[in-house]
Chains A and B, each alone.
Chain A
Amino acid sequence: MCRFSRFLWAGAVCLLLAFSGMQVAVADEFSGLESGQFNTIANTVSALVASGNSQAGAVIDALGKRHLFYSPAGGVFIRSGSTYVDARTGQFVQNTPADLKPVRMNNYVRQVLASANAELELLSPQDAVRLKAATQMYAQHNPVMLPAINHALALEKNSRVRLKLEQASAAIVLAQPMKTGDEASRLAAVKALGSAADLEARGVLSAVAMSDHETAEVRKAAADTVSSIDLKQRLWSILQNAFYGLSYGSVLLLAATGLAITFGVMGVINMAHGELMMIGAYTTWMVQQGIRATVLWLEPVSLLVAIPVAFCVCGLLGILIERGLIRFLYGRPLETLLATWGLSLILQQAIRSIFGPTNIAVVTPAWLSGSWMLGSVDITLNRLAIFVFAFLVLAALMLIMRKTSLGLEMRAVTQNRRMAALMGIRTPRVDALAFGLGAGLAGLAGVAVSQIDNVSPNLGQSYIIDSFMVVVFGGVGNLWGTLAAAMTLGMGGKILEPTIGAVSAKISILVLVILYIQRHPRGMFPVRGRGVES
């Protein structure tokens, strides 16, 4: 209380100073610094912080950097460069006394200084600074800081900072050994700490729950809170994994839509699809390198430039593959499967010969590198962007399929190739364009993958089986089915992961899909109609 009233008093003086512009001698607050006594200096530092003097921050900062000097004749000065500022007023000093000595320091002063610094941050006018200081104190739970925290708590208005301060105070209280009679305050502290629900709180609380010095009631409250924290942590980690699953599902979606289109329209299973993804990723890298070498100002958006480039490169390559290879194998889906597998081996080796067998570093632009915390879920922007991107691509694809003549022709060929040909649709052209579209989509998937995964010649192999499972699971030639299957497989695997392990999760998903196909051999959303081949 004493400190608090002194603070008010000093605040009033400051106000007076600010308004009058007059130089009033408030010698007592700073004069301790002119002393040679460590204790006096330390006490002065504490008092200065508590006073809320507007110069306190500058003085403490200067002391920490050993820029604070005093004159035995009186006066405290802060060195800034080669000039000096009067510590009391912050005014520039013309005639510096000649016999300046640095204010003395020892470990005790340093310790006081550290907590004074933290205390100053707790009183900072900026919410963010106060929150950061409170978080830091919560993590350290150093008993020395308890008075400062309680002092700040009395003044705090911002609810988030208040919560953090309460948690910090509770952590300190609980970290100290129990004294007789403070059971109520400890119970309150357990409750306050329960709201933090992180590993820090769990550590403190489980120590309390184990301790022999606590009363049974406190121990029980702590144990209950620990188990509720564990539950919350598990829920959060499920959400976190669901988010990872969402982004993995988005990549699968991008990869599988291309496969689904080529299989839907032409009955071709393209085993080189993964390699087209890989080429998309390498195109992204080349675009980045090219932009870095030539038009530097485009660098931040190089990823956006890479999107259409990768689509075109892979799309053209796809048309080339269709004209040069696939069209000779129509009606023999199993042979196309082998031929495209051969093609995938050649493409892999070609990339390995040109770019080397090791991973290349595709840069994630700064605007995609951050992350948001949603509760305890870390939403990384690159994964979020892939999610959004996949849905934009899917929406664009739906528009193409529904609103353009190419889409109409593709759907016609899918449903009944011969009838479509008789109606005047040039099916070879539709085939080439459909394959090009599918390959272009693989390129887009490659751009997306380059942001979350290693880019190496083996990239395609790691996605191809999952993409096939999506196509088979979802039902061929149905974009909604592909969407549902990609998300189910992506999220299912990641959500199972924490309970049964990554490999087992993958195996169970594969086995479940295999079993599902036994029941529904045409996937979740089979294409119906007379044109469907048996």
Chain B
Amino acid sequence: MKYIDEFRDRDLARGLAAAIAAAADPTRQYRLMEFCGGHTHAIFRYGLADLMPANVRFIHGPGCPVCVLPMARIDHAITLATQHGVTLCTYADLMRVPAGERRSLLKAKAAGADIRMIYSTSDALRIAREDPGRQVVFFAIGFETTTPPTAVAAKVARAEGLENFSIFCNHVLTPPALRTILATAGPDGVRLDGILGPSHVSTVIGSQPYGFVPQLFGKPVVIAGFEPLDVMQSTLMLIRQLNEGRCEVENQYTRTVTAEGNRKAQALMAEVFRPRETFEWRGLGFLPDSALRLADDYADLDAERRFAVTIGEVREVKGCECPAILRGVKEPTDCKLFGTVCTPDNPMGSCMVSSEGACAAYWSYGRFRYDH
């Protein structure tokens, strides 16, 4: 695995840490938001915070699709499986996310619902092919990165005439979420100086869509890869921009990201999906044009249209600070439930569920850093 090792080299890391320490102006603060859970995970897993000067701080953003999925959508999926008797196919990290009334997909499965953990959309298609008498629903989730495979699944199902396959679409878009966070930044919201942008998303949509961040909000962006050295190099690039008073979208992840992104994937998405007028993000509320549904041409594959489901109001666990944490306003340790009632074994909020969630990363990797 030479390819990976190059991005985890200890000497290179030391060199970068020294460069960051030299570049960081001790008279100012560098509050850098990593948008993506992948970055949060790398920062904790490799102990990167230890390698930063005290005035360079990472602020965790909302970039984990599991964390931002509102409870009502999980309830919706559980209802599909329990009341409509469908076979629900989903990625493993969704299984334990708490839904309303302390339910979860895992608990629904244990109670007898047919919920299958899959590793790719082709597993869901195969399950549908093998059991034509049963309705199979693919629980699609993720940012722009995972959207093209869902589009392909829709096209394959259409081409094969798979009538028992449909998609419960929960794909969300990153730029509107970032816009919301920045719009509420300031005294009441999060205070931040720069953004580590999501690289896998940009592999699909390119770096261009983040141009509004420097233009409208005056904050620099560096599209950053997920390897620890990527995160460090991107941090250095942000510090340099801030020091030099520059404010632009820079691309650290040139291995795969271009300004325009992957045109073919974009065309595929444009064919199969349409933006939703509004969609709820856990922690950020209802955001316009921030999520996708199936286009009218593919309406027959839309599980939301195929099965009528109504969900009552779902209330978050009292005291859970996930919303504020997802906006970068609070830290996990600010939550009273953190580490007392809420742990990865017994998650109360979504930030504790996915290993990319800020609370889980703090708890699993970093809790020796503060007093108990």
Q: Do A and B bind each other?
A: no
Binding site for B on A (CB under 8 A): none
Q: Which residues of B contact A (CB under 8 A)?
A: none
